[in-house]
Amino acid sequence: MKPPRKLHIKSYGCQMNVYDAQRMVDTLAGEGFVETASVDDADLVILNTCHIREKASEKVYSELGRLRVVKDDAARQGRELKIAVAGCVAQAEGEEIIRRAPTVDVVVGPQSYHHLPQLLARAKSEGRALETEFSVEDKFGFLAPPKPDAIRARGISAFVTVQEGCDKFCTFCVVPYTRGTEVSRPVAKIVDDVMRLADHGVREVTLIGQNVNAYHGEGPDGQSWPLGKLLSRLAEISGIVRLRYSTSHPLDVDDSLIEAHRDVPALMPFVHLPVQSGSDRILAAMNRKHTAADYRKAIDRFRKARQDIAFSSDFIVGFPGETEEDFLATLALVTQIGYAGAYSFKYSPRPGTPAAEMRETVSAEDMDERLVRLQGLIDSQQSAFNMAAIGKSVDVLFERPARNPGQIVGRTAYLQPTHVMAPADIIGQVLPVRIASLERYSLLGELAAPPHALAMRPVSSHITHGA
């Protein structure tokens, strides 16, 4: 029997890349590859790249420079190391990677990675292989499902892609060019995937897509199902105790999603709803197609459906034309909404996007200064949100042993990491924890009762106020 070949995969960027990397591992398992954490003993290294922000491609080329040394060392030892570049930089740069980095054997875009086995074979016979077409076939139909061992090794929380691509064309964003147009997977396929995950210990599923609430997959009744209806169906699957979704667009918040937050207890009351800016002028220049008032209305609808709901968001500072007044409108929006956390980025022009043609008006110093002010405000909101959990009993889904011996770590409904001293058999359970303190971003507490006394308790996800 041939010894297994070793695959090292390095993934950058969003959750979708994490998911894609897992599916590459699953597909290459069928070719006799096993994963290795080290580049040094790998037979194949895949860089699963991200193109969303600054200098992404330059970072890939410098990583490829380091890998060339590893590849040469391997060759001196009589081993053959193959190098593949996947993800959005592969899509955007294509031939350029082959030209600039002769060490690369395979370049594969995000819609073609189901062809990795064939591309590796082609690289063997022809020297190099490139595929960056937006394939007409559904790659999900070709990807091998994860093996039970792989599911268990990845833990109790899993991502499932339900929607890909984006038709929104925000002027700053490369996603519509690197991931292609919006496509939703059929409901039955997603149900199958989630049932397989649940059968092998997964308790929490996050549905992912570049614009996940634009989901409109074909249902078993032949109708187009919105995300809310899909979430309600998935909540019926035995073993699944928590559902989440990411990333949403404010324009696609429909009634089905609001109703799901009202009616489906497994759907966590924590929504990532990027707004990017609080200024209508900048939102228009970004082609977001919503105003700050539209965004506030969407937030209000969620809050009406579920009072304990909390939000996170994405912000860009220093978009071309952003004045101090525009920036103050962003701070005002943040103050008004009150976030549990948020990501903020300095604008970076992405080649090929309409904003890259706009004149950059915000100096590097002003951008830095605005980012610091915005992050300061968001941090203070996040700290206040975390502090508010102290003294309360909070439901936690336990995930894995923590670094400190005897401690188990899990997450609240709001993804706050929470540590308790407890036996490892609580992993996979949702149990109430009395929160005693906050250490940086982690909550510390103790189980509200011994685990055996809690085992029969029905699952819920609310924060309960208690003495």
CB 310 within 8 A of CB 270: yes
176 binds, among ligand SF4, ligand SAM, none (CB under 5 to 8 A by kind): ligand SF4
Helix 227-234 / helix 255-263 crossing angle, nearest 10 deg:
30
DSSP string for residues in 18-72: HHHHHHHHHHHHTTTEEE-S-STT-SEEEEEE--SSTTHHHHHHHHHHHHHHHHH
Considering CB distances under 5 to 8 angstroms, the limit depending on partner class, which of ligand SAM, ligand SF4, none binds residue 345?
ligand SAM
Q: What DSSP letter does each residue of 176-223 carry, written as one string?
A: HHHT-S-EE--HHHHHHHHHHHHHTT--EEEEE-TTGGG-EEEPTTSS
52's contact among ligand SAM, ligand SF4, none, with CB below 5 to 8 A by partner kind, is: ligand SAM
The piece of 31-39, 66-74, 95-103, 171-179 that touches ligand SAM (CB under 6 A) is 171-179
Q: What is the DSSP letter of 130?
A: E
Residue 173 interacts with ligand SF4 (CB under 6 A)?
A: yes
Q: With CB under 6 A as the contact rule, which of the stretches 13-21, 168-176, 231-239, 408-416 interacts with ligand SF4?
A: 168-176
The residue among 132 and 211 lying less far from ligand SF4, judged by its C-beta, is 211
C-alpha span between 162 and 184 (Å, rounded): 6
The owner of tokens 């187009």 is 224
Binding residues for ligand SAM restricted to 286-325, rule: CB under 6 A: 314, 316
Compare residues 176 and 445 and give the one whose CB is closer to ligand SF4. Answer: 176
Question: Of residues 337-396, which lie at the interface with ligand SAM (CB under 6 A)?
Answer: 345, 347-348, 350
Could you tell me if 42 and 8 are in contact, meaning their C-beta atoms sit under 8 angstroms apart?
yes
C-beta of 215 vs 345, nearer to ligand SAM: 345
Site string for ligand SAM, 175-214 (x = CB under 6 A): x----------------------------------xx---
The one-letter amino acid at 312:
S
Instruction: Pick from 84, 85, 170, 333 the residue near ligand SF4 by CB under 6 A.
Output: 170
Per partner kind, with CB cut-offs from 5 to 8 A, the member of ligand SAM, ligand SF4, none near residue 350 is ligand SAM
Residue 378 Cβ vs ligand SAM, minimum distance, rounded to whole Å: 13
In this structure, are residues 90 and 56 in contact, taking their beta carbons and an 8 Å threshold? no
Query: What three-state secondary structure class fits 292?
Result: helix
Q: What is the dihedral of CA 306, 310, 314, 315, to 10 degrees?
A: 100
Kindly state the smallest distance separating residue 246's Cβ from ligand SAM, in Å.
Answer: 9
Q: Where do contacts with ligand SAM occur on this chain (CB under 6 A)?
A: 14, 52-53, 172-173, 175, 210-211, 247, 249, 274, 276, 314, 316, 345, 347-348, 350
